[in-house]
Every structure is written in C-alpha cells, then in structure tokens.
C-alpha cells in the first residue's frame, strides 16, 4: 500500500534520494526545500504525487505552519523525515556566534520543532513513524566538527527521551546515522575564517583532507537510501540505523573506549553513593 511522507531538506543528498525512490515506487511525498525550483523536474514527472513547500527549518513559525498545512491538505501522513541540516568545519575558536546560532537553529532546534509540530497530528491519527537523519557524528566526534557534533548529539538525546514519551501513542522513531557519503554535503559545509595558530593541528588537518581530496569517501548514498527505506518498511523499525563501514568502525571503537573508561572508574563511581547503612539510617528518621 502506498504511504505518504513529509521530508525536509529534499533539494539534494539523502532528502532528494529518498524523494526520488519513494515516488518511483508509488508513494506520495511532501518535500520541503530551501531552493525554489530544485524539484521542478520531479514535479513535471510525478504531478500531484509530489507536493513541494519552500521552507527554512530555522524559521520555527514557518515549520509549524508547513506541518499543519501538510496534514490539512492530505489528511494522514505516515512518515516524518527530519533531514534538513548542514555542517561547519573549523576549530570551535574560529566559529562565530552567528554561525553557532545558525547551525543550532537549523540542525537541532529546527528538527525539534518539526517533530513537536507533527506530534498532535500523529496522536490524532493513532500512529506514525518519525525518522531523524543524524550522523555517525551523533556518537563519535571529529576535530573541527564540534558545532556539528553538538547538534547531532543533541538531537539524538532529544529523540531518545521523546521516543519513551510517545510510545503509548504508537509513534515510532528511527535515528539514521550515515557515515561519510558521496553527497553534496561537503560542498555546503561552512568554513569559518581560519586562525593561523591552528595550522598543523587536527582541526585544520581534517579540513585539508576533506577539501583536498585526501579523505576517501566510501559511502554510497543510493545504497544508504535503500537501507533507510527498507528499515522504514519493516514491521518494527530499528531505533538506530548505522550506515557505512567507516561509521561502523568509528562507532564501535568509540563505544568500546567509552565502556573501558566506565569500567576503569567503576570503584570511584560506585563510591559516590550513600552506603546501605547510611540509607537505612536516613530512612528510619523519615
């Protein structure tokens, strides 16, 4: 049976890939874009099967209005895909406050407001699935991407909590964590004005690799989109979907290191509690 999807950031990359493949199989898509006309070729091909809305997700009022209008126009929406995002590559010290606000407003606050706006509609229709496109960068961290990681770690924490809140309403979540992929993402990355003191440090080394061709990108965006759709179609979506061999290696190493640090500090961690005797004495005085 065909489904209806609302997808943000559909001009290019994963959003465009999802839109193309879903339309091709007969689903309906409401796609939001920042670049007017970027989906005109698909509108010409699919007509009313595709609806397009101009939207900058950092405009919270516009996000609310777009979601409300989408549900009013089509009735039921089965999938909400929060995909719109961009990156900043540079040392944190180099990043201006306006750049910080913009990435937080887009990647974090924009995603939160989109999901929050959809919740009353999904509750009213009795179910729904929300797919948050995050990144391997929601579990690991590269030097030079500190602001990007702040937004991705932040949205993953929000979704983890929210999923527990809305589970009684049959609203499901999936966090998609692609590794580096051959999408136009790298071309949209903002580069703050460099500080010479960081030359030769990890933040600038990574930037040189990313823009100088020294970073080999293994991820195939078409295969990643296929995996997203297959997971979305499953009777129960996985809560996390990690994509790409580099992502697997990086996240596995990070989690292994985190567990080792946890175990190494176990004695100190457990000693921070009241003892059983102290708790018993406090309970006796209540």
Domain spans in the chain, listed from the N-terminal domain onward: 4-243, 245-286
- Give the integer Cα–Cα distance in Å for 69 and 221: 30
The answer to whether residues 85 and 106 touch, using CB atoms and an 8 Å cutoff, is: yes
Predicted confidence at residue 182, as pLDDT, reads: 83
Whether 207 is catalytic is no
Q: What confidence score (pLDDT) does residue 1 get?
A: 55
What pLDDT is stored for residue 210 in this prediction? 82
Indicate if 198 belongs to the active site. Answer: no
Out of 46, 148, 198, 232, which one is annotated catalytic? 148
Q: Which CATH class is domain 4-243?
A: alpha beta
Q: In angstroms, what CA-CA distances link 38 with 18, 55, 97, 252?
A: 15, 12, 30, 37
State the pLDDT at residue 204. 95
Q: Quick one: CA torsion of 225, 227, 233, 236, rounded to 10 degrees?
A: -130
Q: Which position among 111, 134, 146, 232 bears the catalytic label?
A: 134
Q: Pull the structure tokens for residue 217.
A: 């990108």
pLDDT > 90 in the chain, percent:
88
Q: Using 70 as the pLDDT threshold, list the residues of the chain that sit under it.
A: 1
Q: Tell me, yes or no, if 148 is annotated catalytic.
A: yes
């Amino acid at each position: 049976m065909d489904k209806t999807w609302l997808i943000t950031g559909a001009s290019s990359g994963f959003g465009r890939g999802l839109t193309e493949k879903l339309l091709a199989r007969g689903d309906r898509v409401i796609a939001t874009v920042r670049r007017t006309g970027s989906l005109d070729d698909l509108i010409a091909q699919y007509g009313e099967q595709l609806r397009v809305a101009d939207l900058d997700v950092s405009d919270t009022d516009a996000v609310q209005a777009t979601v409300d209008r989408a549900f009013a126009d089509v009735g039921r929406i089965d999938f909400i895909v929060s995909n719109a995002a961009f990156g900043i590559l540079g040392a944190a010290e180099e990043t201006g406050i306006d750049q910080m606000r913009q990435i937080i407003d887009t990647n974090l606050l924009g995603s939160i407001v989109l999901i929050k706006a959809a919740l009353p509609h999904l509750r009213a229709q009795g179910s729904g699935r929300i797919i948050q496109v995050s990144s391997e960068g929601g579990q690991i961290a590269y030097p030079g991407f500190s602001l990007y990681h702040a937004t991705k770690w932040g949205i993953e924490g929000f979704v983890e909590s929210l999923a527990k809140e809305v589970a009684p309403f049959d609203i499901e979540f999936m966090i998609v964590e692609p590794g580096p992929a051959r999408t136009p993402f790298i071309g949209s990355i903002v580069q703050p004005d460099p500080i010479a003191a960081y030359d030769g440090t990890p933040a600038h080394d990574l930037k040189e690799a990313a823009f100088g061709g020294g970073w080999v990108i293994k991820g195939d965006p078409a295969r990643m989109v296929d995996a997203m759709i297959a997971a979305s179609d499953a009777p129960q979506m996985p809560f996390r979907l990690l994509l790409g061999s580099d992502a697997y290696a990086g996240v596995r190493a990070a989690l292994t290191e985190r567990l080792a640090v946890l175990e190494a500090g176990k004695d100190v961690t457990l000693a921070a509690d009241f003892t059983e005797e102290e708790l018993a004495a406090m309970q006796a005085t209540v």
